[in-house]
Amino acid sequence: MSSDSPIPWFDSFLGVAYRYYEIRMNVVPLFSDLKIARKFWMDTMHWWNDHSIKIRFVETGDTYWFIMGAESRNPKDNRSIFKVLPKSPHYERFKKGHEGGAYLRLGTHTKKFKKDVKDDSKCNCGHIKFDHEEGDGNDACLYEDCDCRKFETFQVNLLKKKKTVTDIKFLTENEIKDDVLAWNCFSTNKYNQEKESSDE
């Protein structure tokens, strides 16, 4: 198979969130800035035909490659996206429960600190805001067995627009030669880079 990818690859996003509480599960590429997420949606994903959207998860040990692309009604601005991510319980839950389809949405991931959240908000350590010290610059967790020194949490905000994806596959690296999207991604973003490194 050819490794020349006519569509550029985009990986300037933070990662992927999974949401489970709608008719279909949600796959949510996350951005750090709402304006960037909206612009990516309008420039690229808005033009994607739902029936042509493909998502591939290629497992490589403790990590997986998230790969997504589609045919576009605006081919000059089309991009496919990928990110290498660590496997997580959320990924495993999506893998077991997606039932062949998902909603595709974009979102933002924002860090929040003690002053930004409500009293019942949980810190990344798992304890609520009330369980952290009071005072400026000192908000360590009060639980003795917790080594958290600063209250931090995050918030995921989803864009309202969504697409429906029904072409979702989970592959191993040995199986990608039979899948054009996964093969192009690995050829461009892994194999060609490895070859260029060894040529130097």
Q: Is the pLDDT of residue 126 over 60?
A: yes
Compute how many other C-beta atoms are within 10 angstroms of the C-beta atom of residue 98. 20
| pTM for the model | 0.83
pLDDT at 35: 95
pLDDT at 124: 87
What percent of the chain has a predicted confidence (pLDDT) above 70?
Answer: 92
pLDDT at 135: 72
Q: Is the pLDDT of residue 2 over 50?
A: no
Q: What is the pLDDT of residues 44-81, one digit of tens each?
A: 999 999 999 999 999 999 999 999 999 999 988 899 99
User: Where do the structural domains in the chain lie, given as residue ranges?
Assistant: 9-106+159-194, 112-154
Instruction: Give the chain's mean pLDDT.
Output: 89
| pLDDT top residue among 21 and 101 | 101
pLDDT at 109: 86
